[in-house]
Structure 1
Amino acid sequence: MTIRALLFLALVPGTALHAEIYRWVDADGQVHFSDRRMQGAERTGIPTAATRAPNPPAATPPEADEAAFLGPYTAFEIVAPGANETLTQDKSDLAVSLILDPPLLEGHRVEAVLNGVAVPLANAATQFRLSGASFGSHRLQVQIRDADGDLIARTALQSVHLRQTQAPQEPQEPGLLR
């Protein structure tokens, strides 16, 4: 009796690999699968570990990506300063203008991310000024978070360069060094 049970159990997994599965679509457009042949059914195979497509890679969390992520918005991007733009100015403040459509949804808040540091914004304006940005190169992104702090949308990450206006220099006479 034990030998028959072991033999039976040894054969069962193998039979599943060779089972025939039939697929058909009924009059309502519903797809059906069965191990019994039905009128109009086509034979399909059972995917095995060797033939099964690998699981798709896990989606990268939005925070790990530098690309834009619109979420529920049809448009969300930084229009000024432009990507990789060099601004020459007296102050190191950075004026930012956005396109956001539809307007900020209830419960959502805007924050700027300058060089990886989040800067919450007091109002939901699409134009604001980041003060205290030093002269030099920066990486800028704007994000929208919900009331729980979860990321809802973000602009593409872009570089911007702030250069200080230089005072005019006195003309020098040729050959004279000071």
Structure 2
Amino acid sequence: MRLVLIISLILTSIVLSSSHATVYRWVDENGKVHYSDEPRENAETVELNQNTQNSISVRVPAEVDSNTKPAEAVTYRVRIVNPTQEETIRSNQGNFTVVASAAPELPNGYLLALYIDDILYGQPQSSAIFNVTEVNRGEHNLVVKILTQNGKVLASSSVRKIFLHQASILNKPRPTPRTE
């Protein structure tokens, strides 16, 4: 923090020196170094050289040819191909596959992310096939999103509702005794 303060004070003093202001330096009772444009007790004058001044040159952009069209923004679309809307999936382990389709083809660096019930499932990936494992039975909403590497959402599929059924050992049919 001290370094930032000192650098900013030095830069300020450089700007002030261009208007021929005098810069004073002193050390306080705690050993901190201070700079100011006002003289103080025990302050010494800081000599600034001409070569300490910075100059910045700005390039003027070339004129844009009126015949060239600006690059058109690409609109991406993504949809879930499989499973179908309100499909019932029977899997005791809670495993199923989600297949998505994106158009136009995604350039390198763009990722697809699967959300199950508004929670990100796994890590975003470049593949459009998601192998889902160990999901509890019940109704679930699936959404696939196209993301940039910094996480910006470019497109999102519509919500796909599915039903996951798992056989339960508790619902196992029990033999009934015969009475004769």
TM-score for both structures, normalised by structure 1:
0.50
The equivalent of 1:128 in structure 2 is: 130
Contact 2:78/2:146 (CA < 8 Å) preserved in 1? no
CA distance in 2, matches of 1:120, 1:88: 22
2:159 to 125, 147, 157: 157
1:90 offset after TM fit, Å?
2.2
Instruction: Identify unmatched segments of 5+ residues in structure 2.
Output: 1-73
The equivalent of 2:146 in structure 1 is: 144
Contact 2:117/2:142 (CA < 8 Å) preserved in 1? yes
The equivalent of 1:72 in structure 2 is: 75
3-state SS of the aligned residue for 2:125? coil
CA distance in 2, matches of 1:123, 1:137: 25
The equivalent of 1:14 in structure 2 is: none
* Identical pairs, percent: 20
**Matched ranges for 1:88-127 at <5 A:** 88-121=90-123, 123-127=125-129
1:82 to 81, 84, 98: 84
1:162 offset after TM fit, Å?
0.3
Contact 1:138/1:160 (CA < 8 Å) preserved in 2? yes
Runs of 4+ in structure 1 off by over 6 angstroms are none
1:149 offset after TM fit, Å?
1.0
Query: Aligned Cα RMSD in Å?
Result: 2.6
Contact 1:110/1:120 (CA < 8 Å) preserved in 2? no
Q: Which stretch shifts more, 95-104 or 133-142?
A: 95-104
3-state SS of the aligned residue for 1:121? strand
- Aligned positions, number: 105
CA distance in 2, matches of 1:98, 1:171: 45
Spell out, residue by residue over 1:25-60, the C-alpha distance to the aligned partner (whole angstroms, 9 max, x if none): xxxxxxxxxxxxxxxxxxxxxxxxxxxxxxxxxxxx
Rg larger in 1 or in 2? 2
1:72 offset after TM fit, Å?
2.5
Q: Which amino acid aligns with 2:147?
A: R
Instruction: Identify unmatched segments of 5+ residues in structure 1.
Output: 1-70
**Matched ranges for 1:162-177 at <5 A:** 162-165=164-167, 169=173, 172=176
Spell out, residue by residue over 1:110-138, the C-alpha distance to the aligned partner (whole angstroms, 9 max, x if none): 11111111124363222121223111111
Q: Which amino acid aligns with 1:93?
A: N
CA distance in 2, matches of 1:138, 1:147: 27
